[in-house]
Amino acid sequence: MVAASPRARRRISILGATGSIGTSTLAVIAERPDDFEVVAVTGNDNAAKLAEIARAVGARLAVIANPAAYAVLKDALAGTGIEAATGDSAVVDAAARPADIVIAAIVGAAGLVPTMAAIEAGAQVALANKECLVCAGELFIAAARRAGPPILPVDSEHNAIFQALGGHAIDTVEKIILTASGGPFRDWTVDAMAAVTPQQALRHPNWSMGPKITVDSATMMNKGLEIIEAYHLFGLSGDKVEVLVHPQSAVHGIVAFRDGSMLAQMSAPDMRTPIAHCLAWPERTESGSPRLDLAALGSLTFERPDPRRFPALRIAREALAAGGWATNIMNAANEIAVDAFLRHRIGFLEIAELVEETVARAAGLATETPASTEAALNLDREGRRIALELMQARAGLGIAS
Ligand code: NAD
Ligand code: MG
């Protein structure tokens, strides 16, 4: 018998290497360091951490987006032979460097241009940055079709759906189910939710993640973004994407096929599993994540989300039905609102209110799906402007807390 030839080392770049997904990706690579060669790593402003990562993995290039942090990066990498660079365009260049796989793990619409550059350069993109799809999903899917390799979903629910689909055509699917933990306020009253502090919202019961997505999970806007993400990734209309609250976070996604079969993917709530799936696809590799102990869990429960306490799901579905302009504006407003909440400028329930008001206000101004990256970025800026304006008006009226 002839032994299978060892697979060549996969060249990998990590956009957002200093964040939560970046850190989990580095942990997966550390399981099998000989299988990977790190081309580029990027971060926003934590230059010391980025330099430490670049040295540890022997990256060829490290890019810090914020020029104010460049001196620290350059000093820390002096004499290592690792190239250092700064600025938004350098992040885009890093994304476009020849690589087999690019992990898109920048948070928010800031990831739009670099992720698009990675797709256009022909890399296999493993996408964590769901906001890009909500902002300009049509453009991303069209660019990925032109470039060739499919986008691999890192987001655990979409990764679960991708795995459960197992290559079946989408017309064999009746619906998909995305699960949600329900976040820290799953069974809180509206009155109690009105007084939630950033500190409370940042304490997620099951997952350890960056601050923005942790707040999105608490409002369930994360699941709203994920409905739109699923629409783009799998080509399924919104009414075929169901959300169920599953507090144990063991089942991440379920595909219901037209013959009545339901296939689910299960794993511990740890992003190293979906990341490892993307890094090795179509093969499998070690992830280093903990194993699910079903007997210890005892039971798995599922319930419908409460639309009254979590209006973000309805807002997201309405935006999806209205079109690409509305999801773009919704995402921009949500980024502004989450940031304002984290800075104690608005209350927890005001996040969804502000998002809904911004989309309503923008309805008269924009009605077309952005046809280019520039158009998507312009719309995003407009959404942010309107959201800030509405927030100031609220503060003036004494509505904001
Ligand atoms: P994070 O805040 O921990 O990390 C974000 C990364 O993006 C950091 O490296 C940061 O330096 C970089 N960044 C931020 N602003 C930037 C800018 N303007 N320019 C360049 N780089 C910038 O966030 P995270 O939790 O790792 O999430 C990253 C993305 O993955 C988000 O879109 C999130 O929704 C998605 N995601 C995260 C998880 C998770 O478990 N953390 C799960 C599913 C999806
Ligand atoms: Mg998710």
Give the pLDDT confidence of 370-400 residue by residue, as tens digits: 999 999 999 999 999 999 999 999 988 766 4
Is 17's pLDDT higher than 70?
Answer: yes
What's the gap in Å between 167 CA and the centre of ligand 2? 21
State the CB neighbour count (10 A cutoff) for residue 57.
19
Is 130's pLDDT higher than 70?
Answer: yes
Nearest-ligand number for the alpha carbon of 249:
2
Among protein residues, the one whose CA lies closest to atom 4 of ligand 1: 19
Substitution candidate for ligand 1 out of 13, 53, 209 with most atoms within 8 A of CB:
209
What's the gap in Å between 388 CA and the centre of ligand 2? 27
Answer yes or no: are the C-beta atoms of 285 and 276 closer than 8 Å: yes
**What pLDDT band is residue 401 in, cutting at 50, 70 and 90?**
very low
Q: Which atom of ligand 1 is nearest to the CA of 108?
A: 32
Among protein residues, the one whose CA lies closest to atom 31 of ligand 1: 107
pLDDT of residue 297: 96
Answer yes or no: are the C-beta atoms of 26 and 2 closer than 8 Å: no
Is 4's pLDDT higher than 70?
Answer: no
- The H-assigned helical ranges of 271-323 are 272-280, 294-297, 312-322
Q: Which atom of ligand 1 is nearest to the CA of 17?
A: 9
Q: Which atom of ligand 1 is nearest to the CA of 208?
A: 40
What's the gap in Å between 52 CA and the centre of ligand 2? 28
pLDDT of residue 398: 67
The chain-wide mean pLDDT, for the chain, equals: 96
pLDDT of residue 6: 57
Q: Which atom of ligand 1 is nearest to the CA of 131?
A: 32
What's the gap in Å between 157 CA and the centre of ligand 2? 5
| Ligand 1 site, CB within 6 A | 16-22, 43-44, 65, 91, 105-107, 110, 128-131, 155, 207, 209-210, 212-213, 271
pLDDT of residue 1: 45
pLDDT of residue 78: 98
Q: Measure the CA–CA gap between 317 and 6, rounded to whole angstroms.
A: 46
pLDDT of residue 120: 97
Q: Is 87 exposed, middle or buried (0-12, 13-18, 19+ CB in 10 A)?
A: middle
Q: Measure the CA–CA gap between 26 and 340, rounded to whole angstroms.
A: 31
Angle in degrees, CA 151, 153, 157, rounded to 5: 150
Beta-ladder partners of 173: 257
Substitution candidate for ligand 1 out of 20, 162, 277, 384 with most atoms within 8 A of CB:
20
Q: Which atom of ligand 1 is nearest to the CA of 23?
A: 26
What's the gap in Å between 215 CA and the centre of ligand 1? 13
User: Looking at 44-199, which runs of residues are DSSP E strands?
Assistant: 61-64, 83-86, 101-104, 124-127, 152-153, 173-180
In the chain, the amino acid numbered 30 is: A
Helix (H, G, I), strand (E, B) or coil at 309: coil
Quote helix, strand, coil % in the chain, to nearest 5. 50, 15, 35
Q: Measure the CA–CA gap between 154 and 243, rounded to whole angstroms.
A: 18
**What pLDDT band is residue 368 in, cutting at 50, 70 and 90?**
confident
Angle between helices 130-147 and 324-342 (to 10 degrees): 140
Question: What is the average per-residue pLDDT within 208-212?
Answer: 95
Q: Which atom of ligand 1 is nearest to the CA of 106?
A: 7
In sequence order, the 6+-apart residues with CB closer than 8 A to the CB of 39 are 11, 12, 13, 59, 60, 61, 97, 98, 99
Q: Measure the CA–CA gap between 220 and 312, rounded to whole angstroms.
A: 6
Lookup: tokens for 72: 């620290």
pTM of the full predicted structure? Answer: 0.97
State the CB neighbour count (10 A cutoff) for residue 4.
6
Q: Which residue has the higher pLDDT, 162 or 204?
A: 162
Substitution candidate for ligand 1 out of 213, 278, 287, 377 with most atoms within 8 A of CB:
213
pLDDT of residue 399: 60
